Structure formats: C-alpha cells, structure tokens
Amino acid sequence: MTVLEEAWTLKELFVYPNEYIYWSIQIVMYPFMTGLVAGAFVLSSLYHLFGIKQLKEMAHFSLVFSFALLVVAPMPLLFHLTRPERNFYVFMTPHFSSAIATFGIVIFIYGSIVASELWFLYRKHLVEGSLKLKSQLNKSLAEKIRYFLFTILTLGAYDVGKIALEKDHRAVKILAGIGVPVACFLHGYAGFIFGSVKANALWMTPLMPVIFIMSAIVSGVALCMLTYIITMEIRKLLASRKKSPLAHPTMEEIRGVEVFEMKITSKYLIFFMVFSISLELLDLVFRGYTAVKSWDILRNVIYGKDFINIFIFQYTLGNLVPFVLLLIPGLTIKRALFSLILVLFGVFMMRWNVVIGGQSFSLTFAGYMHYALPIIPRDLQTFKEGLGGALLIGAMPFILFWVLSKIFPVFNLKETH
Amino acid sequence: MNRRDFLKFALRGSAALALAKGLDEIFQPAALPASWQPVRWVFLVDTYKCIGCGFCVKACKLENEIPFEANVSRTWVERYVVTKEGKVFADTPQEARNGFITDRVDLGKDRYRDIPKEKIDKAFFVPKLCNQCEKPPCVQVCPVGATYQTPDGVVLVDRQWCIGCGYCIMACPYGMRFFHPVYHVAEKCNFCYHRINKGMKPACVSACPMEARKIGNLKEPEDPVTKIIRTQRVEIHKGEYGTKPQVYYLGLSEEVR
C-alpha cells in the first residue's frame, strides 16, 4: 500500500514521516485563477467606476472574461479534494474560524455581483436580440435556441427607454463600485489562507494578502491584454479575408484600436507591477534582516534549492524583463505580447514558489521535500494532480469565454470608439 | 416610560437573559466551564526509557487500521545522533515501525550515513504522537468542522464528514496529520479514544516494554502521570506556536525537532 503523495514527493534528510507535498499543482492553480478573476474585474472597473474612457472596449471585454474565469476559479479546489463528492458540506456546516469555510460564500456573492453587472450592461442588447428574433419567421434551430436564451436572460424586463437605460448605467457603476473591494477581498482572502498558517514559516506573514492582491491585479490585467491582442489578431485576419473595401471594421481600424488600448493598459500594468514587486522584496528583505529561527532553512530554500525558480524565473524573467520591455517607448503589439506572456509566467511562478516552495522544507527545519510534477498520469489521481489537470483548468476559461461572447458580444466598435 | 417602568423592564430583561444562559449550559454540556469536566487526557513520554524498538508504532498501526506498509503513521519514533563535532543527525526510518535495526542514519533519497561510535557524543530516541493541543490549529482551520475537540481534550476526526482539503495537515506544526491511504480523509492519533473510554490504555502504551509512554488524567491530582507533570521538570514540544500541547516529555533535548 503506497501513499498517493509519494508519487510526486521526494524527501531529503530529516523529514517527519507524515510530511508530503499535500498541496500540489491544483493549489498553485487556485490562487492563480482567483487572481486572474480579481484582476480582470479591477481592469473593467477602471472604466465603469473611474470613467477612464479610453478603456471602454477593454472594460466590456474584461468583465465577460472575469465572469468566465470566475466560474472556473473554484474548480482547482474541487479537483484537489480527496473526497470531492462532499464539496457541498462547506455550505452545510461552514466552520467560520476556517479561512476556507467562507470561500463558497465569498465567491457566490462576487459571482452575483459580476452576473448582475453583466446583465445591466447587456440588457439592451439582450432585449433587442430577443425582439428581433421574435419578429423573425422560420427560425432555424440555432436561432430558436438563441431566441430562447435571450428571452430568458432578459428576465422579462423589456423597457429600454432612455430613463430605464440611464438607471442601468447607474446600476453598473454601483455594482462596479461594490465589486472592486469584493474582488480584492476574494483574492486577499486567498492570500490569508496561506498567510495565516502559523506552522509554515514561509507562508506566515501579514503581507501575504496584500502581495496576493497586487500580483492578482497584475496577472488579471496581463491576461486580459493578452487575450484582447489575440482576439484582435483573429479579427484582423478575418477582416483581411473579407477583401471588400466597405467591410466594417477594416483592418486598419482594428489595428488602431488595438495599439491604442495596449498603450493605455500597459501603463496601469506597470503601475501595479511596481507595487507588487516592492511588497515581495520587502517581505524577502525583512525575513533576512530579522532572521528568526526558521531563516536558516528558508535561506537554503530561497537562495539554494529554489534559486532558479525564484530569482531567474519569477523575478528576472517574470518581472524585470517584461518591466523593461514595457517601459521602452514605442510599444509594438509583438513586444507587448511577449512581455505579457512573461508577466503571466512570472505571476504563475510566484504562486508556485509560495505553494510548492512553502512545502519544500520540512517542519523539522532539518530536511527538504522535492516536488516532481506528474506529467504522464498513472491513474485519475495523478492526472488531476498533474500537468493534465492543470492544463485542463487553464484551458477552461478560454472555452467558457468563447461561449459567453456568443451571448455577450465584447466588441462593439461602432458605438464604442 | 418613567423611571419605575424602566427599572422593572431592565430587571425582568436581565432575569430572562440569566435564565436563558443557565438553560443553555444545562442542555449543552460542551458549554460548561472546563473546570467542571472530570477528565483531561494528558500523555507523558519519558525519552530516557525509550530504546527504539518500534513496538508502539507497530501496535498503533494494527490497532487503528493504518496499512502497515504505508509510509504514514499516527505515531513514530525519532533517533537523534549528536557527534563530537556538534553535528546533529536525525531519522525515523519507516516511522520506526520495525524498530531501529541498523546503526546507519537514514538521510533520505536512499542515502545512509555510518557514524563511528567513537565520534558520537550522545544519541537518544524520541517517540512522537499527537499533542492533543489545548488550542488546536487543525480544528481552527477545518472548513466543515469535521475535526473537533472533545470536552476531555482529545482532538478527533469525523471520517464521514471530512472533505479532504488538507488544510488541517498544513496547519499542524508537528506534522501529525496525513490522509488515510484507504479512506482518503484526514487521519491522526487520538490517544486510542475508543480504548481509553473503556478504561483501557492506548495501544502504544500497552505495547511499550519500557514504560516510556504513559497516559493520565490531568484533572485527577492523585494520577501518577499528573503527579510527575506537576512535580518534575517536564517539557512540551514547540511551545512557540502557542498551541498548548498536552503531551509532556521528560528529557527533551535542544536538538529535538
């Protein structure tokens, strides 16, 4: 009889017998995904709440994307449970002294906020779509489904008069206002889950929630920009195929919008990156300076075992390089694309270094554990807790986004620009 | 409302509140003050007596249905070897379920170290088990309340309710918890709660040939274990975490992790 965790844990020197890497890749994915949710929402709120007009198109885009990510965010936790069929016990007997107990409630509240905001934002579109399809005779099956969906989603509110729309607009603004603190709470709270574990010398710091929020915004903004560029490139490709000179929008129009939005958003990205990196470095410097009992082993992990993961992958490739690339004037789409991939990689590595790094040394402070990510699955468990499971979780929001964008169109060039 | 009415109202209100509080305590024995509880289980480990035979681990695994060959255990024995150069080596090969059958120290990754006897300053064994903390962090972090503290101080896990998130495993500073290889829920030592409630001793205590492990009731002043804890110099493990462990040690050394 073997222990499941032996499949990916290698022990070195003196480690307690029950110690393994219990929180593996799915728990890396969990804060990464919730971070993307929070970041995408904050980006959309920059327009709705603070009226940063230049971000209008990006705002619609990132709100829909945030919703797609939101649905996926609890999935890694579900994948990780050894008894996933009991997941709803969290709602039945929530034990409120636990940081995880409120997760279900927080994500539910947040989900309702994003869903309501989406509804108010797209109500006019839904009503128009529904009415148009209603008047149409001989509907095809796809149109029938579309009509059914749109009609249900209007919730029977067909009033799209000027006063009603104005009210919608105000509701969006209020919801975006409530949403920002809730988004920050959602993710700061993911940081709290780690930061409050007093048994773990690397995790335990009151800075953890703040570090998580900042890096969340960085990753969310970066992912929205990245997906935005990719979809814009696809639209350009489609526009170039049309050939017709009257086609709207033309390739040049799309390119113009794309570059413009990129330049504005990348400024916000840099701003949040500075915050995020400063906090992480503060944490590192403080640990080294105070050098409490655990520092000996932490130093071995940070400057030794995990040096490449932390200083090369996270700080250099994930932070420094994209930071410089984004700062150099005359930002091109290719350069932005490259930097954004690096930024996302950097935030992922930060999550990795927190979750896996925090378990790479023993509670004895005299031994180490090495994590070997299962790449080729042996069974369902090693698939879930392996590369396959992580990629599945990573792909889900994009598929969902594609489905959602059929109902909530994210590009509305004529009106918006 | 005049002053008289107000006073009447306030008096009646406080009487009702006091009554409610009293009823609460009658119907919810858990809400009683801890001092009214007749039992608080404690454990005493005399490390001077431990010879590292591993009978305790074997007995525990058999008694509590932890697959014997699985590399997890509710209890284990550690060996510490301190050399003349001041180097500390420690190991617990396979939780010491078969005892310490070789002099070589297990360094993990299939590497071993032979330490010549003349280079050793001191060497000793330390049995470990759940501390049944007064302030258990594992109970604090359980999202569904599947792990809880009984009025007599033992921390239990409800196998029917644990969802297997692993947060309790992360929260324990002593590395006591693990996932049961068969049931896939959190598992830990509970002083053999099923035995101690029938007047029996925990399996590890019964199996120890040297009487290095003892269980007692801290609320009973005449209990031999309580007497030792009260009158001798005992230590607890990792007190800095504020968990208030209830396993006391005789002869715990600075090298012990």
Whether B209 has a pLDDT exceeding 90, the answer reads: yes
Whether B218 is covered by a domain: the verdict is: no
- At residue B105 the predicted structure's pLDDT band, cuts being 50, 70 and 90, is very high
Distance from C-alpha of A68 to C-alpha of A74, rounded to nearest angstrom? 12
- Residue A416 is predicted with a pLDDT of 35
Same domain, A109 and A236: no
* Over residues A19-32, mean pLDDT: 94
Whether B78 has a pLDDT exceeding 90, the answer reads: yes
State which residue of chain B sits closest to A87, comparing Cα positions.
B163
Same domain, A393 and A356: no
The answer to whether A236 and A250 are in contact (CB under 8 A) is: no
Judged by CB atoms closer than 8 Å, whether chains meet at A98 and B140 is answered as yes
- Residue A136 is predicted with a pLDDT of 84
pLDDT per residue over A307-348, tens digit each?
999 999 999 999 999 999 999 988 888 899 999 999 999 999
State which residue of chain A sits closest to B107, comparing Cα positions.
A13
- Provide the shortest C-alpha distance from residue A96 to chain B (in Å): 7
Closest listed residue to residue A220, CA positions, set A59, A370, A361, A98: A59
Residue A369: list chain B partners with CB under 8 A: none
User: How much is the mean pLDDT over chain A?
Assistant: 89
Judged by CB atoms closer than 8 Å, whether chains meet at B184 and A11 is answered as no
Judged by CB atoms closer than 8 Å, whether chains meet at A17 and B73 is answered as yes
Residue B77: list chain A partners with CB under 8 A: none
Residue B107: list chain A partners with CB under 8 A: 12-13
* Over residues A7-23, mean pLDDT: 95
Which of B91, B144, B179 comes nearest A4 by C-beta?
B179
State which residue of chain A sits closest to B69, comparing Cα positions.
A1
Judged by CB atoms closer than 8 Å, whether chains meet at A82 and B91 is answered as no
- Which of A165-169, A227-231, A241-245, B197-201 shows the lowest mean pLDDT across its residues? A241-245
The answer to whether B60 and B77 are in contact (CB under 8 A) is: no
Residue B147: list chain A partners with CB under 8 A: none
Same domain, A74 and A189: yes
Judged by CB atoms closer than 8 Å, whether chains meet at A95 and B109 is answered as no
- Provide the shortest C-alpha distance from residue A117 to chain B (in Å): 30
Q: Whole-model pTM? A: 0.88
Same domain, A327 and A356: yes
Q: Which of B65, B141, B157, B189 is the best substitution to test chain A (most A C-beta atoms within 10 A)?
A: B141
Whether B64 is covered by a domain: the verdict is: no
> At which residue do the structure tokens 């033309």 appear?
A250
- Provide the shortest C-alpha distance from residue B1 to chain A (in Å): 41
Judged by CB atoms closer than 8 Å, whether chains meet at A89 and B161 is answered as yes
Closest listed residue to residue B191, CA positions, set B90, B37, B78, B42: B42
Judged by CB atoms closer than 8 Å, whether chains meet at A20 and B178 is answered as yes
* Over residues B54-66, mean pLDDT: 97
Distance from C-alpha of A44 to C-alpha of A66, rounded to nearest angstrom? 9
User: How much is the mean pLDDT over chain B?
Assistant: 93
Q: Does any CB of chain B come closer than 8 Å to the CB of residue A385? A: no
Same domain, A255 and A120: no
- Residue A43 is predicted with a pLDDT of 84
State which residue of chain B sits closest to A364, comparing Cα positions.
B257
Partners of B112 in beta bridges: B106
Q: Does any CB of chain B come closer than 8 Å to the CB of residue A292? A: no
User: Helix, strand or coil for residue B213?
Assistant: strand
- How many structural domains comprise chain B? 2
Same domain, A239 and A360: yes
Whether A212 is covered by a domain: the verdict is: no
Judged by CB atoms closer than 8 Å, whether chains meet at B171 and A17 is answered as no
- Provide the shortest C-alpha distance from residue A6 to chain B (in Å): 9
Whether A363 is covered by a domain: the verdict is: yes
Residue A86: list chain B partners with CB under 8 A: 144, 161-164
Whether A294 is covered by a domain: the verdict is: yes
- Residue A417 is predicted with a pLDDT of 29
Whether A13 is covered by a domain: the verdict is: no
The answer to whether B129 and B92 are in contact (CB under 8 A) is: no
Whether B74 is covered by a domain: the verdict is: no
* Whole-Å CA distances, B136 to A277, B166, B246: 35, 15, 10
Distance from C-alpha of B171 to C-alpha of A388, rounded to nearest angstrom? 28
* Whole-Å CA distances, A73 to A39, A103, A343, B185, B211: 13, 11, 20, 23, 52
Which of A1, A86, A97 comes nearest B181 by C-beta?
A1
Phi-psi region of B45 (alpha: psi -120 to 50; beta: other; left: phi over 0): beta
Whether B176 is covered by a domain: the verdict is: yes
Closest listed residue to residue A60, CA positions, set A75, A81, A40, A31: A40
- At residue B30 the predicted structure's pLDDT band, cuts being 50, 70 and 90, is low
Judged by CB atoms closer than 8 Å, whether chains meet at A14 and B177 is answered as no
Q: Which of B71, B131, B139, B142 is the best substitution to test chain A (most A C-beta atoms within 10 A)?
A: B71
Whether B191 has a pLDDT exceeding 90, the answer reads: yes
The residue range of the domain holding A290 is: 223-371
Residue B79: list chain A partners with CB under 8 A: none
Phi-psi region of B236 (alpha: psi -120 to 50; beta: other; left: phi over 0): beta
State which residue of chain A sits closest to B186, comparing Cα positions.
A82
Whether B215 is covered by a domain: the verdict is: no
User: Helix, strand or coil for residue A400?
Assistant: helix
Whether A20 is covered by a domain: the verdict is: no
> Residue B164 is part of a domain; what is its CATH number?
3.30.70.20
Which of B69, B92, B166 comes nearest A17 by C-beta?
B92
State which of B187, B202, B228 marks the end of a domain.
B187
Whether A218 is covered by a domain: the verdict is: no
Same domain, A319 and A389: no
Which run of H or of E encompasses A159? none
pLDDT per residue over B146-180, tens digit each?
999 999 999 999 999 999 999 999 999 999 999 99
- Provide the shortest C-alpha distance from residue B229 to chain A (in Å): 26
Q: Which residues of A120-152 are buried (b: 16+ CB within 10 A; e: fewer)?
A: bbbbebbbebbbebeeeeeeeeeeeebbebbbe
Residue A13: list chain B partners with CB under 8 A: 107-108
* Over residues A214-228, mean pLDDT: 88
Neighbours of A304 (CB within 10 A): 10
Work out the percent of chain A whose per-residue pLDDT is above 90.
Answer: 53
Judged by CB atoms closer than 8 Å, whether chains meet at B178 and A12 is answered as no
The residue range of the domain holding B148 is: 137-187
Judged by CB atoms closer than 8 Å, whether chains meet at B170 and A199 is answered as yes
Same domain, A115 and A235: no
- Residue A412 is predicted with a pLDDT of 58
- At residue A27 the predicted structure's pLDDT band, cuts being 50, 70 and 90, is very high
Q: Which of A53-57, B32-36, B233-237 has the highest mean pLDDT?
A: B233-237
Whether A415 has a pLDDT exceeding 50, the answer reads: no
- At residue B92 the predicted structure's pLDDT band, cuts being 50, 70 and 90, is very high
Token reading at B79: 């060996």
DSSP B72-92: --S-EEEEEEEETTS-EEEE-
Judged by CB atoms closer than 8 Å, whether chains meet at B88 and A4 is answered as no
B88 φ/ψ angles, rounded to the nearest 5 degrees: -110, 125
Same domain, A406 and A327: no
Distance from C-alpha of B108 to C-alpha of A356, rounded to nearest angstrom? 19
Judged by CB atoms closer than 8 Å, whether chains meet at A101 and B143 is answered as yes
State which residue of chain A sits closest to B89, comparing Cα positions.
A14
- At residue A414 the predicted structure's pLDDT band, cuts being 50, 70 and 90, is very low
- How many structural domains comprise chain A? 2
Same domain, A172 and A232: no
Q: Which of A94-98, A133-137, A377-381, B59-63 has the highest mean pLDDT?
A: B59-63
Same domain, A366 and A392: no
Token reading at A413: 């060039």
pLDDT per residue over A258-294, tens digit each?
788 888 888 889 999 999 999 999 999 999 999 999 9
- Provide the shortest C-alpha distance from residue B13 to chain A (in Å): 30
- Residue B27 is predicted with a pLDDT of 67
State which residue of chain A sits closest to B159, comparing Cα positions.
A83
Residue A5: list chain B partners with CB under 8 A: 179
Same domain, A234 and A124: no
Whether A202 is covered by a domain: the verdict is: no
Q: At what angle do helices A162-195 and A208-242 cross, to 10 degrees?
A: 130
- Residue B33 is predicted with a pLDDT of 62
Whether A179 is covered by a domain: the verdict is: yes
Give me the sheet containing B76-83, strands edge to edge: B88-91, B76-83, B120-128
User: Helix, strand or coil for residue B125?
Assistant: strand
